Amino acid sequence: MTTALSPQQTITDITTLRALRDEAWASILQNAPWARFVMAGDYDRRFYGIYLTETFHYVKHNPKHQALVAVQATGQLWSYYRFCYEHAQEETGHEMMAFNDLINLGLTSDSVTLPPPHPATEVFIGYLYRVSTEGNPLRRLGYSFWAEDSYGYIGNLMKKITQQLALEARHTTFLVSHANIDEKHAEDVDKAIVQNCKKPDDWASLAEVMQTSLRLQSAMLDAVLEEYQALKANASDRYRFLNGGADT
Amino acid sequence: MTTALSPQQTITDITTLRALRDEAWASILQNAPWARFVMAGDYDRRFYGIYLTETFHYVKHNPKHQALVAVQATGQLWSYYRFCYEHAQEETGHEMMAFNDLINLGLTSDSVTLPPPHPATEVFIGYLYRVSTEGNPLRRLGYSFWAEDSYGYIGNLMKKITQQLALEARHTTFLVSHANIDEKHAEDVDKAIVQNCKKPDDWASLAEVMQTSLRLQSAMLDAVLEEYQALKANASDRYRFLNGGADT
Amino acid sequence: MTTALSPQQTITDITTLRALRDEAWASILQNAPWARFVMAGDYDRRFYGIYLTETFHYVKHNPKHQALVAVQATGQLWSYYRFCYEHAQEETGHEMMAFNDLINLGLTSDSVTLPPPHPATEVFIGYLYRVSTEGNPLRRLGYSFWAEDSYGYIGNLMKKITQQLALEARHTTFLVSHANIDEKHAEDVDKAIVQNCKKPDDWASLAEVMQTSLRLQSAMLDAVLEEYQALKANASDRYRFLNGGADT
Amino acid sequence: MTTALSPQQTITDITTLRALRDEAWASILQNAPWARFVMAGDYDRRFYGIYLTETFHYVKHNPKHQALVAVQATGQLWSYYRFCYEHAQEETGHEMMAFNDLINLGLTSDSVTLPPPHPATEVFIGYLYRVSTEGNPLRRLGYSFWAEDSYGYIGNLMKKITQQLALEARHTTFLVSHANIDEKHAEDVDKAIVQNCKKPDDWASLAEVMQTSLRLQSAMLDAVLEEYQALKANASDRYRFLNGGADT
């Protein structure tokens, strides 16, 4: 399920962590149904709309569980706690980028009531709260490590989807603008990892969270694909609100 | 991922819920790697030991998130809140059944420090906390609905594993004794569902949690299988503490 | 502020605890403005109405923080955790006794929107959440120790107020019926204390919570008195909703 | 208990809030036992040591409940949430100023285990968590409103205590350095109040929290005085660790 480290393989630096991240992304891009579907190019804007809906839901919680790391911590890692609060501040309201992108797609109006998070999204959110409030307080950095630095991995997917759906800047503020904001974040995250990870468990639990949270986001994206197919087949009502202006 | 209801299919009674449960279990028993592996019978006690370890971890949280449903609720469903607290009381300490079963296997001593929960177990736990503290407060009943009434579904698996590993009563208190305790619980759960579920969202969100939590437990069991194979192949250290008395 | 124990005086049994409780109550009954005011007898039903309003507010939280003791605990005091959940179950919905008593006073209708908790009530509630979620998990028993066994101390006050306001059974279900329910609870609490308190800190922190929570409830009752006087003097609007049928 | 507003008096601007703050401080400086005691000047460094101990305890929680305001909020006050996280970041670790000041007093060593928070401090902390997680999310600004801008009110007290105890800069970093840091904070707080308070309840609940939290801190300081007198009289062991180098 996760790329297991062999007993001999112990993580002790960020370079090994990067290699594991490369490996995890490579596996997803090659095998995940959603990734292959994106590159195959047979979809309309509702597919992207479902993605934005679920993204809105999980992104809303990012500052919350980020801050909870420091709220619940009992140790003395003050510079790390400051990182957590600062990062929470910077992530506040980012779900509105996804929401505005969704509205700008023209499939629905801004007075829409979105469906609640998909179960796959709730699983993702629930896991992030858990790693932020239990266990090694450094391990949530494993989520930030890929989430703030994903542009390099999904660049081709974004190019494809942008062409396919004739997307403009006002449809991709979450993915694109975010990429710029995240550049600074990614540096901060790397610095926080290097400064704070000292014990083997720090690295190991961080790597575990990196792999697991990336897998859960991929599962969320597979659910987006399934729901898109269900919507097209008229087999589910969950995202019917996106049928407004879709070329069905 | 979950068995989607068609737009036409709305749940309005416990009979439909039971049918969905049958369907979900049937799919797992037929397709899940762990279920097929159990029936194939090629394993030693360490496989069961890994299962008991992860079971210990997630069961410990059952009374906690069960009680949180009532703690966080703001409505006036008092009889339901009493059910939650009573159920929490009854589930308290049940993880020790799994722990004692594990010790009785003779693979390790009772002074063992167990490894932390597997990522697949953490995903399961995290989801259960989430459904217990957000959204429709009735939806956690979807977890209890299958968890307190699983004996009928897994009877054959338990028979097989008991034979295969020559298990006695003192190795199966969690699964077997629990089955008896759970009989009363299952009735209570059915009653709580029938008495409290009134709006379409009550039934729909409960069904969603039933399907999702059952799927996540199945994923945890698949991870148990993967870890058993990694342990046998000497490819992981996580459960090495079970190698003590195993007939490797 | 609290009755300090001298350095020589260490609590090691429930008898000493009872003596400290007697002492704390005696001081309140003799010195607290609210207690003297009750016995002086110069008030109408609005005074009791304000009391019931604030009681409704704090009682609503009793099962919640009671359960949180067990939810947040990391130890192995299973019989104590069961006590917590069972007690939470039994206290669920008791705030409705206070609410119904209030409505039965005839000062307002049952569709009334109560004012939010008074600051003195919030201080009381906030402290109870704190002792239930931090520090020695046994210390919340110090609150239960007086709260479930107060009838003996406030009997005269209740007699006076019942005569003064011509109260009937339907106006005093919280205070009177509760007294009967609490008789069993008080025994359970005593048993839980004796069975679980072992270390000096168990007894000391429990005694501290007993004294502090009793003091905070007394402060809440002083606030009830102040607010009654402000209401009579038309100096505050907070409880104006009680002016409906009052003999002003 | 709190300075009640008359029914005619409604707060609608920060000027009225300032007047209420002046009034609350004036009453404390004139009437609170601790304030009169400080000006009377009959104490040694242990009095200040007890103050620093309790200050260490409550200050540790400031960033935590500050962040929880935003974590628990469900509205769309993003700029306010950013303020909360930023403020949490800036307050992180400030308890160490109090701790270092305490160690620099020379009464104890830096390996000391401090006694747990005094009950009066726990009441203060518990209330701040409550106002940060329930009710109007803006109301915690009422705490910041006086806490970040107290230098003007306590200047004379600090001058007196500094002379009396021959304190140097390294003994007063919490109170003095903090004052400088807080100058910027105070401006930020004023801005946050003016920008966000719109409805009557925003102002009213903020004012209530200002008065109540200031009163609870004053009660904590009265407890510091009581404990100092108990320590001098050898009637309590709680702060005996401060007897090390004291001129007893």
Tens of pLDDT along D152-175? 899 999 999 999 999 999 999 998
Return the percentage of chain A with pLDDT > 90, whole number: 85
Residue bearing the bigger pLDDT, A34 or B12: A34
With 70 as the cut, is the pLDDT of residue D7 above it? no
Angle of helix B78-91 relative to helix C62-72, nearest 10 degrees, comes to: 20
- Residue D34 and residue D47 in contact, taking contact as beta carbons nearer than 8 Å: no
Mean pLDDT computed over B46-59: 98
- Contacting A with CB below 8 Å, chain D residues are 63-64, 67-68, 70-71, 78, 81-82, 85-86, 88-89, 92-93, 96
Q: Answer whether A70 sits within 8 Å of D81, measured CB to CB.
A: no
- Radius of gyration of chain A measured on its C-alpha atoms: 18
Is residue A81 within 8 Å of A74, Cβ to Cβ?
no
Q: Give the residue, D223 or A2, on which the prediction is more confident.
A: D223
Distance (Å, whole) CA C33 – CA C11? 30
pLDDT at A10: 80
Q: Give the pLDDT band (50/70/90) at residue C85.
A: very high
- Digit-coded pLDDT (tens) for B122-139: 999 999 999 999 999 999
The residue in chain C having the minimum alpha-carbon distance to the alpha carbon of residue B77 is: C93
Q: What is the ipTM of this complex?
A: 0.94
Please state which of the ranges A145-154, B198-207, D130-139 shows the lowest mean pLDDT: A145-154
> Among D122, D152, D115, which Cα is nearest to D29's?
D152
CA distance D151 to D160: 14
Q: Is the pLDDT reported for residue A222 higher than 70?
A: yes
Percent helix, percent strand, percent coil in chain D, to nearest 5: 75, 0, 25
Assess whether pLDDT exceeds 80 at residue D97: yes
B151 near B229, Cβ under 8 Å?
no
Give the count of Cβ contacts less than 8 A between chain C and D. 80
Return the residue matching tokens 């980020």.
Answer: A66
Q: What is the pLDDT of residue A245?
A: 55
Query: What was the pLDDT predicted at B21?
Result: 96
Q: What is the mean pLDDT of residues B32-58?
A: 97
Q: Which residues does A122 contact at the CB level (< 8 Å), separation at least 6?
A: B127, B130, B131, B212
Where residue A92 falls (left for φ over 0; alpha for ψ -120 to 50; beta otherwise) is: beta
Residue pair D58/D125 in contact (Cβ under 8 Å)? The answer is yes
d(CA B43, CA A226): 35
Rounded to the nearest integer, the mean pLDDT of chain A is 92
- pLDDT (mean) for A200-209: 96
Give the gap in angstroms from C-alpha C90 to the nearest C-alpha of chain B. 7
Task: For residue D135, list chain C residues with Cβ-Cβ distance below 8 A.
Answer: 116
How far B88 CA lies from chain C's nearest CA (Å)? 6
Tell me the C-alpha to C-alpha distance, in Å, between residue A77 and each of A67, A81, A83, A148, A200: 14, 6, 10, 22, 17
Q: State how far the Cα of A180 lies from the Cα of A25, in Å rounded to an integer.
A: 20
User: What residues of chain A have any CB closer than 8 angstroms to a CB in chain B?
Assistant: 1-2, 4-7, 116, 119-120, 122-123, 125-131, 135, 205, 208-209, 211-212, 216, 219, 222-223, 226, 230, 234-237
Q: Which segment of A44-53, A176-185, C101-110, D54-63 scores lowest on mean pLDDT?
A: A176-185
Residue C26 confidence class, pLDDT cut points 50, 70, 90? very high
Check whether B61 has a pLDDT greater than 70: yes
DSSP C203-237: HHHHHHHHHHHHHHHHHHHHHHHHHHHHHHTT---
The verdict on a CB contact (< 8 Å) between B123 and A119 is no
Q: Which of A64, A85, A96 has the CB atom closest to D88's CB atom? A: A85
Q: Which residue of A has its CA nearest to D88?
A: A85
Cβ contacts of A226 on chain B, cutoff 8 Å: 1
Choose from D69, D85, D90, D91 for mutation: most chain A CBs within 10 A. D85
Mean local confidence (pLDDT), A191-195 = 97
Confidence of residue A81 (pLDDT cuts 50, 70, 90): very high
Residue A179: the pLDDT is: 72
Record: contact C63-B78, CB cut-off 8 A: no
Q: Which residues of C touch D225 (CB under 8 A)?
A: none
Give DSSP secondary structure letters for chain C: ---PPPTT----SHHHHHHHHHHHHHHHHHH-HHHHHHHHT---HHHHHHHHHHHHHHHTTHHHHHHHHHHH--S--HHHHHHHHHHHHHHTTTHHHHHHHHHHTTSS-TT--PPPPPHHHHHHHHHHHHHHHSS-GGGGHHHHHHHTS-HHHHHHHHHHHHHHTT--GGG-IIIIIHHHHHHHHHHHHHHHHHHH--SHHHHHHHHHHHHHHHHHHHHHHHHHHHHHHHHHTT---TTGGGGTT---
pLDDT in tens, D98-129: 999 999 999 999 899 999 999 999 999 999 99
Run of H or E residues at A241: none
Instruction: List, in order, residues 6 or more apart from B211 with CB less than 8 Å away.
Output: A119, B2, B3, B20, B24, B142
Q: How far apart are CA A99 and CA A88, in angstroms?
A: 19
Q: Residues of C with CB below 8 A from B128's CB?
A: none
Tokens 């009550």 label which residue? B202
User: ∠ at Cα B119 (B117, B125), nearest 5°?
Assistant: 70
What confidence category does residue C245 fall into, taking pLDDT thresholds of 50, 70 and 90? low
- What predicted TM-score, i.e. pTM, was given to this entire model? 0.95
For the segment D234-247, what is each residue's pLDDT rounded down to a tens digit?
A: 999 999 999 985 44
pLDDT > 50? residue D12: yes
Indicate whether B8 pLDDT > 80.
Answer: no
- Residue D165's alpha-carbon distances to A91, B113, B193, in angstroms, are 46, 52, 68
Q: Between C177 and A203, whose confidence is greater?
A: A203
For residue A183, what pLDDT band results from cuts at 50, 70 and 90? confident
Three-state secondary-structure class, residue A234: coil
**Over pLDDT 70: what percentage of chain A?**
93
Which of A56, A82, A92, A110 is the mutation pick for testing D, counting most D CBs within 10 A? Answer: A92
Q: pLDDT class for A7, splitting at 50, 70, 90?
A: very low
Return the pLDDT at D169: 94
Chain mean pLDDT for chain B: 92
How confident is the prediction for chain C on average, in pLDDT? 92
* Lookup: tokens for A28: 């997803």
* Chain A residues touching residue D181 (CB < 8 angstroms): none
Mapped onto helix, strand or coil, the DSSP state of residue A239 is coil
Is residue D43 over pLDDT 90?
Answer: yes
Q: For residue A2, what pLDDT is reported?
A: 44
CA dist D84 and D91 (Å) reads 10
- Between the alpha carbon of residue A173 and those of residues A95, A177, A202, A214, C158, the distances in Å are 11, 5, 34, 22, 66
- Look at residue D34 and tell me whether its pLDDT is greater than 90: yes
A216-240 mean pLDDT: 97
The per-residue pLDDT of chain D, averaged, comes to 92
Is it the case that residue A152 has pLDDT exceeding 60?
yes
What is the per-residue pLDDT for B188?
93
Q: Which of B116-120, C154-158, D59-63 has the lowest mean pLDDT?
A: C154-158
Neighbouring subunits of A (3+ Cβ pairs under 8 A): B, D
C157 Cβ neighbours under 8 A, 6+ residues apart = C29, C35, C38, C39
Q: Can you tell me the mean pLDDT for A40-61?
A: 97
Residue B176: CB atoms within 10 A of its CB come to 16
pLDDT at A28 over 60: yes
Confidence band, pLDDT 50/70/90 cuts, at residue B248: very low
Neighbouring C-alpha atoms within 13 Å toward the C-beta of D109: 1
Residue B220, amino acid: M
DSSP labels, A86-100: HHHHHHTTTHHHHHH
Q: Is the dihedral of CA B122, A72, B80, C136 positive or negative?
A: positive
For residue D9, pLDDT over 80 is answered with: no
Percent of chain C topping pLDDT 90: 85
Chains A and D touching, counted as 3 or more CB pairs less than 8 Å apart: yes
pLDDT at B3: 46
pLDDT at D119: 98
Interface of B with C (CB under 8 A): 63-64, 67-68, 70-71, 78, 81-82, 85-86, 88-89, 92-93, 96
The reported pLDDT for the residue numbered A1 is 39
